[in-house]
Amino acid sequence: MPVLNYLTTALNFRPVMRRQFFPKLLSCLLLLPAISTLAQDKVQSSTEPTGFAKEPAALVYPFLDTANSRWFYFSSAARPFGMVSLFPDTAIDGEWGSGYRYNEPTVKGFNHIHEWQLAGLSLMPLSDARPLAEQKADYASAFSHDTEQVRPGSHQLQLSRYGIKVDLTATSRVGFSRYQYQTAKPQQLLLQLGGVQGPSKLGHAEVWQIDAQNIAGFITNQGTERRVKLVKVYFHLAFSTPVQQFDAWRGDMLFANVSGISGDNAGVRLSFQSKDQTVLVKTGFSYVSADNAKLNLNTELPGWDFSGTSAQAYNEWNQLLARIQIKGGSTAQQRRFYTDLWHALQGRRVVSDVNGQYADLSGVEPTIRQLPLDAKGQPKFAMFNSDSFWGAQWTIATLWPLAFPEKATAMGESLIQYGRDFGLIPRGPSGGQDTLVMPGVPMTPFLVSLAQKGLLQTTATELLPMLEKNHSSAGLMAKAGYEHYSATGGGFSYYLQRGYVPYPLPETESSYGSHRRGAGQTLEYAYQDFALAQLAIKAGSEEVAKQYLQRSQNWRNLYDGKTGYIRPKEVDGSWRTPFDPLEYEAGFIESNAAQASWFVPHDIEGLAEAMGDKTELINRLETAFEKAAKQDFTAGTAHAQEGHPEYRRTPINYGNQPSIQTAFIFAAAGDAAKTQYWSRRISDTVYSHLSPERGYNGDEDQGLMGSLAVLLKLGLFQLSGGLEADPVYQLGSPLFDEACLQLASKRSFCIKTLNNGPERPYIRQIKLNGKVLPRSYLLHSEIMAGGVLELQMVAKP
């Protein structure tokens, strides 16, 4: 059967039949990446859509790349940026390779918190007559994707071992579960309080019964290499039907008919006797106290309307996704777009409570702090957990201010509040402490971009000294990744004195910490210094601006004119030899010299001059893209493959952050047509799949690559990260006939393409609000004013 006919037939079979055809279907997807496996129970028509989608959330494909997912990657029963992210765990041991993994056949529990370096309470409904000693050691159940239903805000599946139907939804801080047991079968619920859950080994836990329908307690996330201090996660559970029996264990000891348990390696089994075989469970969470967990529960979910709560969750997602409306393209392309946009709102999750309280663990003892309140007594913003902002300048720092400005403001103010609490603005806060993830200070360009766009409540004058501290020997530039107890791994003293960070660093202390890659660190510091200089200009501090502008030129100290690459230097100033520009992580962070040499987004003019001229830069960059195209512009199809010998020797990698700006360097160097061509190729090649096996072809990192995919398909990109006084957006090659952004001002900004198509990636004419625009970029002020950008697309540049 021809491939296309085979796919069309397979995609229209019922779920059971699709399971039979799944292996062959996946092999076909390698040939036709834009076709979806559509592993859900309802399959969208493959006909070309017309008009704006009324329900963008219905187009989301939640299973994207889930065969490769990590603890915090997947999401189903969750709200945007919500504390709770409740879904089935098919793998639980380790930060990587855990959480919901599509090809793992059994459910090992339903954890409520899947977060950067944190886990929460895992529940598992059971229904059998085995003694507790056997149940606690063996409770996983098989399930089938054929009977699984997932959409933004909810998750449903069947535990085949017990015949239990599980439905999940959530508010921001409350997980809501519905278990439907079989008639005349035991109705049990296991609370797993110990063991390993994703990134965390769980330590001391306590649970106590309040009354027949309420229990409370906490679990303890033990320290990790990244999050070194323990974190308590408090919970309050409310049940729709009374608990008939409370059994527990600690280690090998069993306890029957008790009202609580405490200790390490503990757990609880609750038994019910619901007359309609249905048990509803509401679980509120807090990092502050069990009382606050109850307050969050009673505030956000006072009733027991499961269907209504699920509908509210779906509608909240739908309203946010509908802020960008698209027309044209195929159904598969529209589905992938809204899946990317959905991922752009994932991962970074609230850790403060409804009353504005949050836990600060930066000191010797935990401190409970209070967020500022508005006139109505509501918190002005929330506090968030977050993985690194490494690469955020080309992703969320651009997308969020356009489509979700209130989220960008809240995240920015959260980081600044942490700075007030901790004494330093953190790289990646987790549970009230900094994990020090990745190198440098990637928060600086993120915050400066928000300041330039008018999205911070904190003034530039107030923010400047806070960021300056991070760019000093007392700040995070001096620390390598995860370097909690020293400040040598950043090589900062060398950066100041010699203008570069040597590779390797000579100090023995620098063996503590990660990402000690001198050339890569130098490039990042120089760019981040440029960002700080722009804030100093905004704040009117000319001397400070001059100092950091001078430091931003330190990249030049590592440019080797003979090889034409940024090249690591030894501590004595000599070039490190031997030198292979394609050698992975030889002085560069998760990249090689060929990729990292383009990391000068603040000085493309200077980079062109160093290479000879703009023509030479453009020719070299195009040669790099032509070579990278042979490997589909990535280092394999998953982050775990990036370091493998057969993948890592690529000059461009769109599966990780260090070189995702490269397609837009052409435009900055004067050749916009090449930006249009290669950005469309990347969009179509790297970010077009709809399957559990393919998605981001690398490291998604809490919405970064999802945001990038959205921006490529809109044709908007900020090479500098939005650092200009009026930030600049380079134009790429939009995928759709029309894309309209709903702006905070209630205006809209629409990007319309005429005669668009897969063979017409080039822009012949640009009109903004009916007037010809004689340049291939936009200003932030022009977008915020609203209107229509009209692009005439053609087949030749």
Residue pLDDT, tens place only, 703-725: 999 999 999 999 999 999 999 99
295-300: long-range contacts (C-beta < 8 A, 24 or more apart)? 295/353, 295/354, 295/355, 296/83, 296/173, 296/174, 296/353, 296/354, 297/173, 297/174, 297/236, 297/238, 299/354, 300/171, 300/172, 300/173, 300/174, 300/354
pLDDT at 13: 31
For residue 428, tell me if it sits in a domain.
yes
Average pLDDT for residues 760-785, to the nearest whole number? 98
Instruction: Give the other-Cβ count within 10 Å of 30's Cβ.
Output: 12
Q: Does residue 5 register a pLDDT over 60?
A: no
DSSP states along 92-115: -BSSSS-B--TT--EE--EES-EE
pLDDT at 30: 34
C-alpha separations of 376 from 217, 355, 379 in Å: 31, 12, 9
Handedness of CA 325, 330, 331, 334 (dihedral sign): negative
How far, in Å, CA of 367 to CA of 706, rounded?
35
How far, in Å, CA of 338 to CA of 48, rounded?
16
Are residues 163 and 87 both part of a single domain? yes
**Confidence at 178, pLDDT banded by 50, 70, 90:** very high
Q: Does residue 20 register a pLDDT over 60?
A: no
Average pLDDT for residues 752-773, to the nearest whole number? 98
Taking a C-beta distance cutoff of 8 angstroms, is the pair 720, 305 a contact? no
The last residue of a domain, from among 582, 597, 619:
582
For residue 796, tell me if it sits in a domain.
no
The last residue of a domain, from among 548, 582, 616:
582
Helix or strand (DSSP H, E) at 192: strand 187-192
For residue 595, tell me if it sits in a domain.
no
Are residues 299 and 411 both part of a single domain? no
Which of helix, strand or coil describes residue 615?
A: helix
Are residues 125 and 223 both part of a single domain? yes
The tokens describing 205, both together, are: 């836990």
Residue linked to tokens 């278990």: 179
| DSSP code at position 373 | B
pLDDT at 347: 80
Are residues 263 and 412 both part of a single domain? no
C-alpha separations of 286 from 58, 78, 114 in Å: 31, 16, 14
Please list the residues that pair with 174 across neighbouring strands: 284
The tokens describing 169, both together, are: 């939804």
For residue 75, tell me if it sits in a domain.
yes
Taking a C-beta distance cutoff of 8 angstroms, is the pair 353, 295 a contact? yes
How far, in Å, CA of 189 to CA of 145, rounded?
23
Residue 285 phi/psi, 5-degree rounding, is: -130, 155
Taking a C-beta distance cutoff of 8 angstroms, is the pair 680, 733 a contact? yes
H-helix segments, 431-553: 443-452, 460-470, 492-498, 518-539, 542-551
Are residues 442 and 541 both part of a single domain? yes
For residue 250, tell me if it sits in a domain.
yes
Return mean pLDDT, the chain. Answer: 93
Angle, CA 359 vertex, CA 430 and CA 230 arms, to 5°: 55
Taking a C-beta distance cutoff of 8 angstroms, is the pair 301, 282 a contact? yes
pLDDT at 510: 55
**443-452 helix and 460-470 helix, angle to the nearest 10 degrees:** 170
Are residues 394 and 523 both part of a single domain? yes
Which residue, among 507, 591, 584, 518, has the nearest Cα to 554 in the 3D structure?
Answer: 518
Question: To the nearest whole percent, how much of the chain has pLDDT over 70?
Answer: 94
How far, in Å, CA of 383 to CA of 172, rounded?
13
Which has the minimum average pLDDT: 11-20, 162-171, 528-537? 11-20
Residue pLDDT, tens place only, 375-433: 999 999 999 999 999 999 999 999 999 999 999 999 999 999 999 999 999 999 999 99
The last residue of a domain, from among 582, 617, 648:
582
Average pLDDT for residues 30-56, to the nearest whole number? 52
pLDDT at 42: 35
What does DSSP say about strands 278-286 and 231-239: parallel, antiparallel, or unpaired?
antiparallel
How far, in Å, CA of 69 to CA of 236, rounded?
29
| CATH number of domain containing 225 | 2.70.98.10
Residue linked to tokens 């995928």: 735
How far, in Å, CA of 335 to CA of 60, rounded?
6
Q: Does residue 78 register a pLDDT over 90?
A: yes
Which residue, among 789, 741, 785, 783, has the nearest Cα to 767 in the 3D structure?
Answer: 789
Are residues 100 and 241 both part of a single domain? yes
pLDDT at 211: 98
Q: Does residue 777 register a pLDDT over 80?
A: yes
pLDDT at 442: 98
How far, in Å, CA of 318 to CA of 308, rounded?
15
H-helix segments, 700-769: 704-714
What does DSSP say about strands 106-107 and 118-119: parallel, antiparallel, or unpaired?
unpaired
Are residues 490 and 410 both part of a single domain? yes
Higher per-residue confidence, 264 vs 27: 264
**Confidence at 511, pLDDT banded by 50, 70, 90:** low
| CATH number of domain containing 507 | 1.20.1050.60
The tokens describing 460, both together, are: 């530039």
pLDDT at 639: 86
Burial class (CB in 10 A: 0-12, 13-18, 19+), 748: middle
Which of helix, strand or coil describes residue 479?
A: coil
Taking a C-beta distance cutoff of 8 angstroms, is the pair 84, 112 a contact? yes
Which residue, among 326, 331, 333, has the nearest Cα to 689 in the 3D structure?
Answer: 333
pLDDT at 47: 58
Burial class (CB in 10 A: 0-12, 13-18, 19+), 570: middle
How far, in Å, CA of 659 to CA of 642, rounded?
14
Residue pLDDT, tens place only, 282-293: 999 999 999 999
Q: Does residue 1 register a pLDDT over 50?
A: no
For residue 202, tell me if it sits in a domain.
yes
For residue 591, tell me if it sits in a domain.
no
For residue 477, tell me if it sits in a domain.
yes
Q: Does residue 247 register a pLDDT over 60?
A: yes
Host domain of residue 500:
374-582
Are residues 71 and 206 both part of a single domain? yes
With a CB cutoff of 8 Å and minimum separation 6, the contacts of 554 are 495, 499, 500, 522, 525, 526, 529
Q: Does residue 22 register a pLDDT over 50?
A: no
Q: How many domains does the chain have?
A: 2
End-to-end CA distance of the chain: 38
Q: Does residue 7 register a pLDDT over 90?
A: no
The residue length of the chain stands at: 797
H-helix segments, 117-259: 132-137
Are residues 290 and 187 both part of a single domain? yes
Handedness of CA 640, 643, 646, 652 (dihedral sign): positive
How far, in Å, CA of 163 to CA of 181, rounded?
7
Are residues 394 and 310 both part of a single domain? no
C-alpha separations of 62 from 101, 179, 229, 389 in Å: 12, 22, 33, 24
**Confidence at 331, pLDDT banded by 50, 70, 90:** very high
My answer on whether omega of the bond before 651 falls inside 30° of 0, hence cis, is no
Are residues 288 and 381 both part of a single domain? no
Instruction: Give the other-Cβ count within 10 Å of 297's Cβ.
Output: 26
Average pLDDT for residues 653-666, to the nearest whole number? 96
Average pLDDT for residues 594-602, to the nearest whole number? 98
Residue linked to tokens 């977050």: 386
How far, in Å, CA of 558 to CA of 448, rounded?
26
Residue linked to tokens 């035991």: 186
